[in-house]
Amino acid sequence: MSKAGITLETVDPPAAPTVRLPRRRGIELALIVLAVLLSVYGYCAVGLARNGTVPPGAAGYGAGLGVLALVAHLAVRWRAPHADPLPLPIGVLLNGLGLVLIYRLDLEAPGDPAAPTQLVWSTLGVALFTVVVLVLRDHRVLQRYTYLCVTVALVLLTVPILFPAVNGARIWIRVAGFSIQPGEFAKVLLAVFFAAYLAANRGALTYAGRRVWCLQLPTGRVLGPIVAVWLVSVGVLVLERDLGTSLLFFGLFVVLLYVATGRTGWIAVGLLLASLGAAAVGRLEPHVHGRIETWLHPFASIEAGEGPNQLAQSLFAFAEGGILGTGLGLGHSVLIGFAVKSDFILATAGEELGLAGLSAIFLLYGLLVERGYRAGLALRDPFGRLLAVGLASIVALQVFVIAGGVTGLIPLTGMAMPFLAQGGSSVVTNWTIVALLVRLSDRARRQGGGGDIR
C-alpha cells in the first residue's frame, strides 16, 4: 500500500485508470470445487469410520453444497467480477466442514438431528449472500441507512428480553418452531452504523473538543450518540447474559474508533472502561463470576466430585486430538454435553482433526480476515474502509472469543463459531458478512491503481 492512499482516501478519484486487472474467477471456481470435494470427503470419512460404508446421502450432500456454491459463484461472476477470489471458497469450505462436524455429532444422538436444519439455514445464508451481491451494487448505498441500521439493530438486541431464557442466556426468540438469535443480525447492522457514523464524523472526533491532560476529547455532540449506542448494546447484552456478543461489540467499537481517529488514547480509555466494567460485572453478576471461576480452575468441579464441567471436557477433547487427531467420527467430544454442536463445535474439530486440522481452520479464518483488511486498505472511501475493517474484525473477534474460550485461553462466553457451529442466525449473518466483503473487494479492485489487491 502506498502512501498515496492517505491522500486519496477522502476524495473520490476523478476517473479510474483503465488497467485490466485479472478477474480470477477461474481460481475462485477451482477453489470452490476443492472446498466442496473436501467437505464430501469429510462426510464420507465420518461414514467410513462409523459404519464402514460411505453414507447414503454423500452424493446428494455434495451436490447440494456444490449447487449452493455454484449459484453464489455465478452471482459473483455476474455482479462482482473483480471481487477477491478467496472469501467465497473459504465460506464454502468452513460451512461444509461445519455441516460435516454437525452430521458427525448427530450420529451420537440419532433422535435429534441438527445437520438438516443447518443445511436449510446454510441455503438461506447463501441465498442472502447471492441477494446482497446481486442487489447491492455499491456499498456506499448503505451509508444512507445509517440510522435505520442502528434502530433495527437496537430493536433486534432488545426483543429477546421478552422471551424466556435458554441455558442461562436470554438471546433467543422462538417463532413457529424456529429459534432465532437476533443479536447475530445486529452485528452486521451495528458494523454498518459504526462505520458510517465514524466515517461521517471523523474530523470532529479527531480534532474538535477540549483537551484534557494529554487527551484531546471530541465534543459531546459527536461522541454522545455513538457511545450511547455502544453502551445500550453492551448493557442489553449484559442483561441478556450474552457475554460473547457484548465483548464482540466492545472490541468492534474500539477497533473502529481507533482506525477512524488514529488515537491510541481511545484504546487506553476503552480498555480502562472495559476493565472497570468487566471487574464490576465479574464481581456482581453470579453467571459471569462462575464463568471466570471455571476459567481459572477448569478442574475444580472434578476435585469437588461433581465430574468434569464443559470446559474440562472440552480441554480433554482437544488434548485427545493431539497433533494429528483421532480421525473424523472417532473422537468422543460428545462427552461435552449439550453445547457440543454449537459453542463447543471446535472441540470436535480439535479432537478429530488434531492440532493440524485446528490450525488449518484458524488459518482459514485468518485468511478471511486478512482479505477483509486488504479490501479495507485498498478502498478509498472512509466508510468502505471502516466497513471492511469492521466486518473482518467481527470475524476475527468472534473466532478469538469462542476459540479462546473453549481452549481455556480466556473465560468462556457463549458464541457461535462462524460457519462451523450449529446456529441458523449465525450462518446467515456470516454469509452476509462474506457477501459484503466480496462486494467491498470488488469495489476496491475495480478502482484499480492503488486499489489493487494482490
Q: Which residues bind another protein (CB under 8 A)?
A: 1, 3, 5-6, 9, 255, 258-260, 262, 299, 302, 307-308, 312, 315-316, 318-323, 326-327, 330, 332, 335, 350, 354-355, 358-359, 362-363, 365-366, 369-370, 373, 376-377, 382, 385, 389, 392-393, 396-397, 399-400, 403-404, 407-409
Nearer to another protein, 79 or 371 (CB): 371
* DSSP sequence for 83-127: S-SSHHHHHHHHHHHHHHHHHHHHTTSTTS--HHHHHHHHHHHHH
- Angstrom distance (rounded) from CA 438 to CA 131: 12
C-alpha cell at 347: 472441540
> Residue 197 Cβ, how far from another protein at the closest point, in Å?
15
> What is the SS3 string spanning 301-316?
HHHCCCCCCHHHHHHH
Nearer to another protein, 79 or 139 (CB): 139
> Residue 412 Cβ, how far from another protein at the closest point, in Å?
13
Sign of the Cα torsion 392, 397, 398, 404 reads positive
> Residue 410 Cβ, how far from another protein at the closest point, in Å?
9
Nearer to another protein, 192 or 336 (CB): 336
> What is the helix (H) or strand (E) element at residue 180, kind and residue range?
strand 178-180
Q: What is the largest CA-CA distance in the chain?
A: 71
Nearer to another protein, 118 or 398 (CB): 398
> Residue 346 Cβ, how far from another protein at the closest point, in Å?
9
Nearer to another protein, 277 or 404 (CB): 404
Torsion of CA 434, 440, 442, 443, to 10 degrees: 170
C-alpha cell at 388: 471492511
What count of Cα atoms within 13 Å lies in the side-chain half-sphere of residue 207? 2
The number of residues making up the chain comes to 454
> Residue 340 Cβ, how far from another protein at the closest point, in Å?
14
Nearer to another protein, 186 or 394 (CB): 394
> Residue 239 Cβ, how far from another protein at the closest point, in Å?
27
